[in-house]
Structure 1
């Protein structure tokens, strides 16, 4: 049969309504449901529903048992007790004797939800098992305090293990940042560059907010090839190489950035209040061995934790104010990431600068051409249709080449003479350099003869 997706009323919602007066079972006896099943059956029709099964609903409609608890509350308590699998008397006895081994921490936390209300404790009736448990449960003196004590003592070791490392990270990070002389010098260098850039328009500054460190990557050079941070990193490598590893003086920044100082201090205060309540409970439950052992084992530990909490607060406030920030409006999740991002950007700028140097070295570094052994005294001039001479190129002779090229007018070959080019170079070296409009005649040349030097001459 298909299902009818209605919103059904629960048994405790029927009382006092019209549905409590209806008898749907009588209707089923009067009607022949065979035709209904034939027309509404699904492809995989299950066996017909027996009237006896439906009659069981009447018992739920008018329950024979009476409970002092709300239906859902009683149901949840039944599930909780069934899950633990302990008798009510054993549970209550364990609570009365502070027996942590008998009751799990999860079960104790669940029981806190079922501490009887004042209304429930006043009702005196012999009800179901859950209600009998509530009666027994409610008879435990200072039940709420005992449950709280058991929960506190069960959570205490784990709470300390969680709080202590966070306090240590915050203390170490705050003190290392404030005491780092290398970081101080780097900020000094950044301040100097900033004042140099802004002095003409804005005037010199005495300091800057830490968020300004992020702007070092946004300020680029004229050719847009490097940022201000890249330039500063380069200068630190050249002038202050001892500062390059400044980040080695800073400790636990990543872990400290994850600490919520207000939350962790609140946890410390909660532990302090819990220990005070435990001590107060011991004054009532005199000579209770469980409470005595707990207090003697953890009082000194908690005192140390409280002291570390105060140290962490003072160290952090001091560090934040030292860098010109407000500790009330700047949590660790904001303060420490300033330095984390700066260190990351600094390291990346170092790598990029090094890569740029290597690339520049490869581009400028050309393989040297081995000079050909030539004896300038024995060079011969080849006579053909043109007069060509090859001479090894040397930078100091570039001005001589320019002068020779300026003097050529028409191609003319001077034949039958060795060492012609050597004579020209010697003449230029012995005579002062003249502009192209100056006149100069070589005594070795014939009048009217012009000298042509091929364009492929190199000195």
Structure 2
């Protein structure tokens, strides 16, 4: 309870007060109402497909095998064979061997393919360098997206905890619950479980025309109408409810691992020689800036973790039992149900007003 809205409310007195309730009206509507619980649905995330490494054949397999057989018949080092061809030395190569070599001269397509691989082979650990390059390209986007999501969670947490209107509505719901349960062990509660908010729309009046959520909105409209737009205090709540902390942790880990690969390749490329001088200079510049970004991101990530836990604690819940995703999901559903009931009440009031006006007009016309 310590640090929760329930504990704070007892210190703040009238600042978080609930409106006065007409107990006789409440009793007439809900005295025999029963509460049904709502179930929660869990979301599953499909694992990403694992791509198997693909084998690239530079030369057709059959052609490569035949070439290998031909070379075993010539039985000489390749440099000697090339020298004999260039010297037109008939003492080294006979006609059959030359004819076989003609058959296995590389095609234009094979030459282009081999040029590509030979160029890549000039660069030490070319695959590692390409992976570092790919990380460099996506780094800013990854960091920006992660920072945006983390900031959204922080903003939503702050908005919920600082909304005096939400606090007063929670106190009103508590007062309603105690009024309904008066005379029982539950009639003097100092707080309630967060998922109880979802039961307000399941609790129906005896006439079956009104739910406890409708009654809450009616009560507030009559006594404290300034609270009806409390949802405007919570502008980041819905966006935050769609963010999974587990995925943010995975993104944070991926950025850290990518940075480790950058550091490893920077160290390894020291012995590459002249070919990697420009690469090392560009990579060092990127690493210096990236490390500062990641340090800031790690600090924000740790802050968000504390704030996410504090949101559950604010409602007197255990973060292990009621994690951030569940808290925000419940609050979003509650806000939407509240708005729906509020709007339905307003339409009913307007319809009733028009009905009375028509009745007055008819009565007036009849009097004339």
Query: What is the TM-score when the length of structure 2 is the normalising length?
Result: 0.61
Alignment-derived partner of residue 361 in structure 1: 353
Q: Is the 8 A contact 1:211 1:338 kept in 2?
A: yes
Higher RCO, 1 vs 2 (CA within 8 Å, ≥6 residues apart): 2
How far the C-alpha of 1:270 sits from its partner, in A, is 2.3
Alignment-derived partner of residue 238 in structure 2: 254
Alignment-derived partner of residue 266 in structure 2: 282
Deviations 1:92-140 (A, max 9, x none): xxxxxxxxxxxxxxxxxxxxxxxxxxxxxxxxxxx97668876875675
Deviations 1:29-71 (A, max 9, x none): xxxxxxxxxxxxxxxxxxxxxxxxxxxxxx959941459xxxx
Alignment-derived partner of residue 18 in structure 1: none
Distance change >3 Å, CA 342–CA 372, structure 1 → 2: closer
Alignment-derived partner of residue 200 in structure 1: 183
Distance in 1, Cα, partners of 2:367 & 2:239: 66
How far the C-alpha of 1:371 sits from its partner, in A, is 10
Is 1:220 aligned to 2:220, yes or no? no
- State the SS of the aligned residue for 1:203: helix
Distance in 1, Cα, partners of 2:319 & 2:250: 17
Within a 5 Å distance, the mapping from 1:121-270 to structure 2 comes to: 140-143=123-126, 145-204=128-187, 205-270=189-254
Distance change >3 Å, CA 372–CA 242, structure 1 → 2: closer
Distance change >3 Å, CA 190–CA 372, structure 1 → 2: closer
Distance in 1, Cα, partners of 2:339 & 2:351: 19
Q: Is the 8 A contact 2:312 2:324 kept in 1?
A: no
Q: Which structure 1 segments of 5+ residues have no match?
A: 1-58, 68-126, 374-459
Distance in 1, Cα, partners of 2:315 & 2:161: 8
- State the SS of the aligned residue for 1:325: coil
Q: Which structure 2 segments of 5+ residues have no match?
A: 1-60, 70-105, 271-276
Distance in 2, Cα, partners of 1:192 & 1:172: 29
Distance in 2, Cα, partners of 1:252 & 1:369: 52
Distance in 2, Cα, partners of 1:282 & 1:294: 11
Deviations 1:264-302 (A, max 9, x none): 122123212322332343344356211122123323222
Alignment-derived partner of residue 292 in structure 1: 284
Greater C-alpha Rg: 1
Alignment-derived partner of residue 124 in structure 1: none
Distance change >3 Å, CA 326–CA 148, structure 1 → 2: farther
Query: What is the TM-score when the length of structure 1 is the normalising length?
Result: 0.50
Alignment-derived partner of residue 318 in structure 1: 310
Deviations 1:65-85 (A, max 9, x none): 459xxxxxxxxxxxxxxxxxx
Q: Is the 8 A contact 1:174 1:319 kept in 2?
A: yes
Deviations 1:395-439 (A, max 9, x none): xxxxxxxxxxxxxxxxxxxxxxxxxxxxxxxxxxxxxxxxxxxxx
Distance in 2, Cα, partners of 1:330 & 1:338: 10
Distance change >3 Å, CA 138–CA 371, structure 1 → 2: closer
Find the partner of 1:303 among 295, 302, 312: 295
Q: Is the 8 A contact 2:312 2:323 kept in 1?
A: no
Q: Is the 8 A contact 1:258 1:332 kept in 2?
A: no
Distance change >3 Å, CA 245–CA 61, structure 1 → 2: same
Query: RMSD in angstroms over aligned alpha carbons?
Result: 3.2
Distance change >3 Å, CA 339–CA 274, structure 1 → 2: same
Distance in 1, Cα, partners of 2:161 & 2:65: 73
- State the SS of the aligned residue for 2:186: coil
